[in-house]
């Protein structure tokens, strides 16, 4: 679009806004509402909710890569860092059940299921295994 066209458009917009200020008919109001209403549950291609297709259990690496990595890769809010033995030692010392329970139900800044609400408990546990394997 040329500069000139942009300024003509801008002028037109300014004019029309001024012309209708405080004087918008119900019809115009409805038209505006229709034009700018939120897209609601229309999803952009490729952004469909993950839950849409049941596809069997995800493995630990993919659950981790989708949901846990954001905090656990760099240690956001004190999250124990993936593969960091120093971070994980005191956590692991609590026992597997405590660890699993905290990951599944949430613990301080750790959101329940790492915010993967459609993850099964087993998928969460697989993601924990992925974070601590090889320590």
Interacting residue ranges for ligand HEC, rule: CB under 6 A: 63, 67-68, 70-72, 76-80, 91, 94, 98-99, 102-103, 107-111, 113-116, 124, 127-128
CA distances from 49 to 42, 46, 52, 117 (A): 11, 9, 6, 11
The answer to whether the CB of 111 falls within 8 A of the CB of 102 is: no
The answer to whether the CB of 120 falls within 8 A of the CB of 112 is: no
Nearer to ligand HEC, 2 or 55 (CB): 55
Q: How far is the CB of 134 from ligand HEC (least distance, A)?
A: 16
Nearer to ligand HEC, 40 or 90 (CB): 90
Q: How far is the CB of 43 from ligand HEC (least distance, A)?
A: 22
Nearer to ligand HEC, 7 or 94 (CB): 94
Q: How far is the CB of 116 from ligand HEC (least distance, A)?
A: 5
Q: How far is the CB of 56 from ligand HEC (least distance, A)?
A: 17
The answer to whether the CB of 72 falls within 8 A of the CB of 131 is: yes
Nearer to ligand HEC, 22 or 134 (CB): 134
The answer to whether the CB of 63 falls within 8 A of the CB of 124 is: yes
Q: Which two tokens stand for residue 89?
A: 């030692």
Work out the end-to-end distance of the chain between its first and last CA atoms, rounded to an integer number of angstroms. 57
In this structure, is the dihedral angle defined by the CA atoms of residues 22, 27, 32 and 37, taken in order, positive or negative?
Answer: positive
């Amino acid at each position: 679009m040329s500069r000139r066209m942009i300024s003509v458009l801008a002028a037109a917009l300014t004019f029309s806004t001024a012309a209708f200020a405080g004087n918008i008919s119900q019809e115009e109001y409805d038209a505006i509402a229709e034009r700018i209403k939120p897209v609601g549950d229309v999803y952009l291609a490729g952004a469909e909710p993950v839950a849409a297709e049941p596809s069997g259990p995800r493995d630990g690496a993919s659950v981790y890569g989708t949901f846990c990595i954001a905090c656990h890769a760099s240690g956001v809010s004190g999250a124990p860092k993936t593969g960091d033995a120093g971070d994980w030692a005191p956590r692991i010392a609590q026992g597997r059940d405590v660890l699993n329970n905290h990951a599944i139900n949430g613990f301080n800044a750790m959101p329940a299921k790492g915010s993967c609400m459609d993850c099964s408990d087993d998928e969460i546990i697989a993601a924990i295994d992925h974070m601590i394997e090889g320590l």
